[in-house]
Amino acid sequence: MHRFANPTRFLKIASAVQPWIAGITVLLFGVGLYMAFFTAPPDYQQGESVRIMYVHVPAAWMGMFCYAAMAVASAVALIWKHPLADVAAKATAPVGAAFTFLSLVTGALWGKPMWGTWWVWDARLTSMLILLFLYIGYMALQGAFDDRARGAKASAILALVGAVNLPIIKFSVDWWNTLHQPASVIKMGGPSIHPDMLWPLLIMAVAFKTYYVWVLLVRIRQELTANKVRILRLKQVHGG
Amino acid sequence: MADFFSMGGYGAYVWPSYGLCAVIMLALLIFSLRSLKTTEHTFERLKSETAPKINSKNKETPDGDEA
């Protein structure tokens, strides 16, 4: 893994891998969306509204996954001062925030017809909203310092402290009474959801994941190039 | 066809869900790609500007580059 840690080598590999990831993402979305709309059956209780699940659940999973990735990268950056880890954490934040926002909005759009309300202040929904605020706080903190290194350090600490929210989100449906349904895919004893619904859900989930990798590669490349631009600008000022 | 779009009466909830996901995810992707392009252009420009300057110090070109 350390071989890919060199920023220059990473840039080379990233630009080679990127078109493949892009192709896989488009393909997976094509298959996933087709299955979500045409092969997946309507739910016996929820009717066609259940199709919201195929974007709501992957978005929520990825909102949490991105935060976990951001926290791990932040830890690596703080402990080993790894040059790529900071960049990866920073590049992940807006993607994770977008996923979390989407899971909240699609959840509201699903909740209105099924629960009769757009929003309730229960544990799952509230902890997900806190996750969105953590992302926003992380991004705000990063830009709040004139010294970039200090901003990176402060936001990395925030990312680590905020990671305590992840198990709270995951287990909120078991620990507290909630309108939100309990886990039906990732749980003891295997998924309790029918394969006709599970497959489109999993394919959409993988599509969301490869989308994240795609955007992550682009954003890391941008950030590394921006670093090189800053160095050149300094050279111009001092050595020109 | 109309059946498909009505989504059993839930069309007003299903389509906005998918539409918003498409809009936000495409916007983030396009914004990231364009930002990469712009930064790469800036880098190439700066590289070609600075390289000759560093090599030949006595060849000062008085072009006021404020930008």
B4 to chain A, closest Cα gap in Å? 9
Length, in residues, of chain B? 67
Q: Distance between CA A107 and CA A57 in Å, rounded? A: 9
pTM for the predicted model, two decimal places: 0.89
Q: Does the residue A207 lie in any domain?
A: yes
Residue of B nearest to A100 (CA): B21
Task: Note the pLDDT of residue A186.
Answer: 78
Q: Do A110 and B42 touch (CB under 8 A)?
A: no
Q: Does the residue A46 lie in any domain?
A: no
Task: Note the pLDDT of residue B52.
Answer: 64
The answer to whether residue B56 scores a pLDDT higher than 60 is no
Q: CB neighbours (10 Å) of residue A144?
A: 12
Q: Does the residue A166 lie in any domain?
A: yes
Task: Note the pLDDT of residue A2.
Answer: 58
Contact residues on chain B for A211, CB-CB shorter than 8 A: 25, 29
Interface membership of B50 toward A (CB under 8 Å) = yes
Task: Note the pLDDT of residue A5.
Answer: 66
Per-residue pLDDT band for B59 (boundaries 50, 70, 90) equals very low
Tell which residue, A149, A198, A233, has the closest CA to residue B66: A233
Q: CB neighbours (10 Å) of residue A64?
A: 20
Task: Note the pLDDT of residue A174.
Answer: 85
Q: CB neighbours (10 Å) of residue A5?
A: 14
Find the CB nearest A47 among B10, B32, B43: B10
Q: Does the residue A24 lie in any domain?
A: no
Least trusted range by pLDDT, from A36-40, A139-143, B13-17, B47-51: B47-51
Token pair 């290194």 is found at A149
- Measuring CA to CA, how many Å separate A38 from each of A193, A199, A208, A218, B13? 18, 13, 19, 32, 18
The answer to whether residue B54 scores a pLDDT higher than 80 is no
Query: For residue B36, what are the contacts with CB-CB under 8 A and spacing of at least 6?
Result: A218, A219, A221, A222, A225
Q: Does the residue A180 lie in any domain?
A: yes
Find the CB nearest B39 among A48, A49, A229: A229
Contact residues on chain A for B53, CB-CB shorter than 8 A: 236, 239-240
Please calculate the CA angle A113-A180-A126 and round it to the nearest 5 degrees. Answer: 105
A70 contacts A92 by C-beta, under 8 angstroms:
yes
What are the DSSP calls for chain A, one per residue? Answer: -GGGGSHHHHHHHHHHHHHHHHHHHHHHHHHHHHIIIIISPPBTTTBGGGGGHHHHHHHHHHHHHHHHHHHHHHHHHHHH--HHHHHHHHHHHHHHHHHHHHHHHHHHHHHHHHHS-S----HHHHHHHHHHHHHHHHHHHHTT-SSHHHHHHHHHHHHHHHTTHHHHHHHHHHHS--SS---SSSSTTS--S-HHHHHHHHHHHHHHHHHHHHHHHHHHHHHHHHHHHHHHHHHHHHH-
Contact residues on chain A for B54, CB-CB shorter than 8 A: 235, 239-240
Q: Distance between CA A89 and CA A219 in Å, rounded? A: 10
Tell which residue, A224, A222, A79, A74, has the closest CA to residue A142: A74
Per domain, the residue ranges of chain B are 14-50
Q: Does the residue A8 lie in any domain?
A: no
Contact residues on chain A for B34, CB-CB shorter than 8 A: none
- Per the structure, the complete domain to which residue A81 belongs is given by 55-239
A173 contacts A124 by C-beta, under 8 angstroms:
yes
Q: Does the residue A82 lie in any domain?
A: yes
Q: Do A225 and B29 touch (CB under 8 A)?
A: no
Q: Distance between CA B25 and CA A211 in Å, rounded? A: 9
Contact residues on chain B for A214, CB-CB shorter than 8 A: 29
Mutation for A interface: B20, B32, B40, most A CBs within 10 A: B32
Contact residues on chain B for A18, CB-CB shorter than 8 A: none
Find the CB nearest A47 among B8, B32, B46: B8
Q: Do B54 and A101 touch (CB under 8 A)?
A: no
Find the CB nearest B14 among A48, A221, A232: A48
Least trusted range by pLDDT, from A163-172, A193-202, B18-27, B47-56: B47-56
A208 contacts A61 by C-beta, under 8 angstroms:
yes
Give the total number of structural domains in chain A. Answer: 1
pLDDT in tens, chain A (240 residues): 455 567 888 889 999 999 999 999 999 999 999 999 999 988 888 889 899 999 999 999 999 999 999 999 999 999 998 889 999 999 999 999 999 999 999 999 999 999 888 998 988 999 999 999 999 999 999 989 988 889 999 999 999 999 999 999 998 888 887 788 888 887 777 788 888 899 999 999 999 999 999 999 999 999 999 999 999 888 888 875
The answer to whether residue B58 scores a pLDDT higher than 60 is no
Find the CB nearest B54 among A109, A215, A239: A239
